Amino acid sequence: MASTIGMVLLMMIMVSLTSLASALSVNYYEHTCPQVESIVAGAVHKATMNDKTVPSALLRMHFHDCFVRGKNKAEKDGPPNISLHAFYVIDNAKKALEAVCPGVVSCADILALAARDAVTLSGGPNWEVPKGRKDGIISKATETRQLPAPTFNISQLQQSFSQRGLSLQDLVALSGGHTLGFAHCSSFQNRIHKFSPKQAVDPSLNPSFASNLQSKCHIKNKVKNSGSPLDSTATYFDNAYYKLLLQGKSILSSDQALLTHPTTKALVSKYAHSQMEFERAFVKSMIKMSSITNGGKQIRLQCNLVR
């Protein structure tokens, strides 16, 4: 999943971001649209068969959607979202659902299900997704500033997550989503070129790994979309992200920041040594994150338009 993270928090959304877990239910569509899970899973599977980057894109899209208020054209134009893709998967699933149960399933629920299916298709865990979200009525590109940035330190990350009711454990578990995906050079140039007045490269980086990143992202390199996979198994959901982090082979500053706090460092080590512990924590944190309300009040008929 390319950076789940954007610019420094300058302002808060004018709605309260509180948990609505008690209002959600895994059986929410049992009578109104029982085909919802199979239809969404089919759309994700079909897209993934044609493009192996779809799972990471859907997971990243879900992270971004939970941290701000929606996913229509205005929000998609925000700088941290420019590189997002695979919106068509959500649109295709929505179109199929509208054909069998019109006006019933929210785009927010489709995205939550698609993110789960993306993880499962990539070899990760499966889980029951609580459903019943409504879609937001506001979507602004400016609100993408509230996404945590790839240059954030641990204090900034902790503040960003805690303002949404997410703990340090949630931060470390959800950062494990970086086991999928790709980061563009712009997301980590700060670590490999002119890191400080006295050091060209971030000293926390493994030297050979840093050299490899520099070769991919030479400062004069104008190749579009150049960058690096976020870990060594970028299309497979595993705990390699944490293992590489402990070896000085993390991509983003915000990844490295997890080793600068005793609580988060201990969790990184725990998940590096146990895939099962990582998956258990990831599922718990995903359910918690996806249960944050965005003030939604509608069921969009098209996911790219505010009705």
Taking a C-beta distance cutoff of 8 angstroms, is the pair 104, 110 a contact?
Answer: no
Is 193 in the active site?
no
Give Cα separations from 287 to 2, 34, 126, 131, 306 (angstroms).
Answer: 21, 21, 12, 10, 25
62, 64, 184, 261: the active-site residue: 64
**What H or E segment, with its residue span, contains residue 228?**
strand 227-229
d(CA 18, CA 299) in angstroms, rounded, equals: 20
Taking a C-beta distance cutoff of 8 angstroms, is the pair 298, 141 a contact?
Answer: no
User: Token match 């759309």: residue?
Assistant: 43
Taking a C-beta distance cutoff of 8 angstroms, is the pair 128, 288 a contact?
Answer: no
Report the catalytic residues.
64
